Amino acid sequence: MQSEKLIIFDTTLRDGEQCPGASMNLREKLEVARQLSLLRVDVIEAGFPVASPGDFESVKQIANEIKGAKVAALARALEKDIEACARALEKAESPRIHIFLSTSKVHRDQKLQRSKAEIVKMACDAVAFGKKFCDDIEFSPEDASRTERDYLIEVVEAVIDAGATTVNIPDTVGYTVPEEFTGLIRSLKENVSNIEKAIISVHCHNDLGMAVANSLAAVKAGARQVECTVNGIGERAGNAAMEEIVMALKTRKDFFGGVDTGIDTRQIIPTSRLVSSLTGFLIQRNKAVVGKNAFAHESGVHQDGFLKSKKTYEIMDPQDIGLNKSELVLGKHSGRNALGQKIKAMGFDVNADELNKVFVGFKTLADEKKEIFDEDLFVLVQKIVLHNDESDVYSLKRVKSEFETGATPTATVELESRDGKVHTASADGDGPVDSIYNAIDKITGLTCKLMDYQVIAKTRGHDAQGEVTVRVHSENREVLGKGMGVNTVEASASAYIDAINKLLVNTKSGPVDGGDLPGP
């Protein structure tokens, strides 16, 4: 059977990052983009350049570095947005400008206050303007699944005439269901006279838990691009999960007619874990494909069948998604070269100076732990390399916490500021962590509200490293802070200081026109 190509359009760095609390810094976005390139996605939607200077710079850096995959940037149907995309994508090997404009009645009447004719003209003018800068133009009629079908056909036909090479059909609010969405895609293929000049794409949200099912239904109906995110992160309940779509097509080639994505599925697990760690969004244990329980068997009946034949209870080979049972065991006697090779095999790109820093941390950790697992190295590289920000205002020198049943917990904290000065403060609190945070507040002069605090074991064993994630609110800003280490009390202090540094540094991110970031 002749396979047919399905384009995987990954929007983790745009729609995925719009998920509240999932924002990443430039270094982290570049690391994700590199990993997406290793995964061999076809299109990386790098961001929304006009949204902020930070988003513009991220798109620009990714466009400059990434080769192989197309790099896309999002724009409203406004010339200033499209020009920002063009500037950010100027050095991209294969750029794409993605323009969107609402078409549903509720959006026309309530959001845009525009007539049908005005929307068509705005869409066509925007596509034509975009063609001045880029041959590859994608257009999304936002909230397409709730748009009157005859009008949607009119819009799609018009933007293709104007030069759109991809027309994306977003289920922006996760409203549709598979049978209905199938009918919509087929209707476009049958009734848009020039549809053969463009690729039909879909972009499904998960508000009713059907984003993946709707995306696959659209593929069956003839869509040949799917927009998705790693781990399904995104606005509200999230987007269609890339890994689920890819593995469904790989596993059920018989049903989908041999549609092939070209994804290197062995990079799915490394990509999933990287995105989860950098965003602070945990993967539920029973998550399809990438959850910890996805290839776990506990029932005696299942175990018996599995031992006789894996096919009795596994429809996928775990090695196909990057779960390799063989391990390079590293310990305190391992050398720098072995460590470097292992880090490279895990998908990280580090220079000699960064490797030296990781090696020092590795030796220290090896003295604390009997065995170093892959997860330990992942945490160590993230801690030393990805979060080694020279713009940090404070770093933790020492923390002392005293706790006794029936007594008020107290803590003393020493922080070193960027100018080399050491600042010390003591405070009490409702618990050991609270007292540490109160002491840090005394030094920094900030008044922060702790919105969320989580501790998870990132590695194995009784001496496992813990990752502490905090969400802190101060002066109408909310930031995420992370800290890691065997000592969770110290990691808690590091996480809070990480959040404090983000509050103190003038970040480049921010909302558009004082509101939420829009998008398909």
464 and 363, same domain (yes or no): no
373 and 429, same domain (yes or no): no
pLDDT of amino acid 437: 94
| Cβ–Cβ < 8 Å for 174, 139 | no
Per-residue pLDDT tens over the stretch 228-287:
999 999 999 999 999 999 999 999 999 998 899 999 999 999 999 999 999 988 899 889
pLDDT of amino acid 519: 63
Give the helix/strand (H/E) hosting 74.
Answer: strand 70-76
70 and 216, same domain (yes or no): yes
Question: How deeply is 34 buried, as exposed, middle or buried, from its count of CB atoms within 10 A (0-12, 13-18, 19+)?
Answer: middle
Alpha-helical runs (H) found in 89-210: 105-106, 116-131, 149-162, 178-191
Residue 517 falls inside a structural domain: no
Residue 297 falls inside a structural domain: no
Last residue of a domain, one of 259, 279, 299: 279
405 and 440, same domain (yes or no): yes
pLDDT of amino acid 166: 98
Residue 317 falls inside a structural domain: no
161 and 136, same domain (yes or no): yes
pLDDT of amino acid 389: 57
| Cβ–Cβ < 8 Å for 327, 282 | no
Residue 180 falls inside a structural domain: yes
pLDDT of amino acid 505: 67
pLDDT of amino acid 355: 86
171 and 235, same domain (yes or no): yes
CA 348/CA 483 separation, integer angstroms: 20
Which domain covers residue 135, as residue numbers? 4-279
Residue 190 falls inside a structural domain: yes
pLDDT of amino acid 465: 72
CB neighbours (10 Å) of residue 518? 18
pLDDT of amino acid 193: 97
pLDDT of amino acid 510: 32
Count the alpha carbons within 13 Å of 8 in the hemisphere toward its beta carbon.
Answer: 28
The number of folded domains in the chain is 3
Residue 407 falls inside a structural domain: yes
Residue 325 falls inside a structural domain: no
Residue closest to 497 by CA, chosen among 459, 464, 456, 448: 448
With a cut of 70, list the residues of the chain below it in pLDDT.
Answer: 1-2, 295-310, 313, 324-335, 368-375, 383, 386-391, 458-463, 505-519
| Cβ–Cβ < 8 Å for 39, 9 | no
Per-residue pLDDT tens over the stretch 128-166:
999 999 999 999 999 999 999 999 999 999 999 999 999
Residue 171 falls inside a structural domain: yes
Question: How deeply is 113 buried, as exposed, middle or buried, from its count of CB atoms within 10 A (0-12, 13-18, 19+)?
Answer: exposed
118 and 227, same domain (yes or no): yes
CATH number at residue 44: 3.20.20.70
142 and 275, same domain (yes or no): yes
34 and 117, same domain (yes or no): yes
CB neighbours (10 Å) of residue 253? 14
- Output DSSP code: residue 111: I
CATH number at residue 403: 3.30.160.270
37 and 78, same domain (yes or no): yes
371 and 482, same domain (yes or no): no
Last residue of a domain, one of 261, 279, 297: 279
342 and 435, same domain (yes or no): no
Q: Which residues pair with 330 in a beta bridge?
A: 372
